[in-house]
Homo-oligomer: A and B are copies of this chain.
Amino acid sequence: MSDLARFSINQMTVRQLPLPRLVEECVRLGVPGVGLWREPVAEYGLEATAQLVRDAGLAVTTLCRGGFFTTATDLDDNRAAVDEAATLGTDTLVLVSGGLPPGVKDLAAARSRIAGALAELVPYAAGRGVRLAIEPLHPMYAADRCAVSTLDQALALARPFAPSEVGVVVDTYHVWWDDHAPAAVARAGAEGRVHAFQVADWTTPLPAGVLTGRGPLGDGVIDLRAWRERVDASGYTGPIEVELFNDTLWSRDGVDVLEETARRYVEHVL
């Protein structure tokens, strides 16, 4: 089995690469999967993207993202995201659930609102063969992006639904600090709810806004191999997606970054 058999490159890691170039380079390097984002997919065209990846034999490991339930007035945009996932041939829509609505200081209420939105969205997604994957985000995003800060919270939100309908994303960047996360990973795996596994490293100092400082694999403090082994031990056998938002990487040649990321994946994650 190739070292890259489970490797998937999230499009945002090399967002400087236009879709056709990304697909071409993935094929050349033997990268079997890509995680896509709605905005660049829409820019290139949904159907055109679906055909591009299908013709290249690439798996779409995830589509990012639905969610932002706490500030949305309806679920139209989330239903559209489900449809796009189905068209792209991925079974996994990543959900970033949303933070506190303006003027609201009640995180528990925000989480309840997320639970309510899920209940409404699940039948629609299930009908289209798309699993909703709740991604806990690091607590530093709790206010403005995601009131779901831990795997325990994500699993609690998933529990009312079948594992084939709702699961979680394990992303090392968001959960590495949490001493409850290893047990949560084991439980998620046992329940069949690990719907995606993403890796990024933690480097300091964090940049202003804390969005674009995800560390290249091996540059930070996360024991990435230990996390991969932990997720594997939970029974997960799916893709391992590298998702880095990083200003320095974005300023470099995209193909270089892709090649380097694949090498670092083999060195630090496998």
Residues of A within 8 A of B (CB): 100, 104-108, 138-140, 142-144, 149-150, 153, 176-179, 202, 204-210, 220-223, 226
Contact = CB atoms under 8 A, between A and B. Distances in A.
Contacts of A143: 177, 202, 204, 220-221
A106 B138 contact: no
A177 B138 CA distance: 10
Contacts of A176: 107, 142
A233 to B, nearest CB: 17
Nearest to A203: B143
Nearest to A144: B204
B223 A177 contact: no
Which 8 A/B pairs are nearest by Cβ-Cβ distance?
A: A142-B177, A105-B223, A208-B208, A140-B140, A139-B177, A205-B209, A143-B221, A144-B204
A221 B143 CA distance: 7
Contact of A108 (B140, B153, B179): B179
Given A107-B177, A206-B208, 10 more contacts: A107-B179, A138-B139, A139-B139, A139-B177, A140-B210, A144-B204, A144-B205, A149-B178, A150-B179, A205-B208
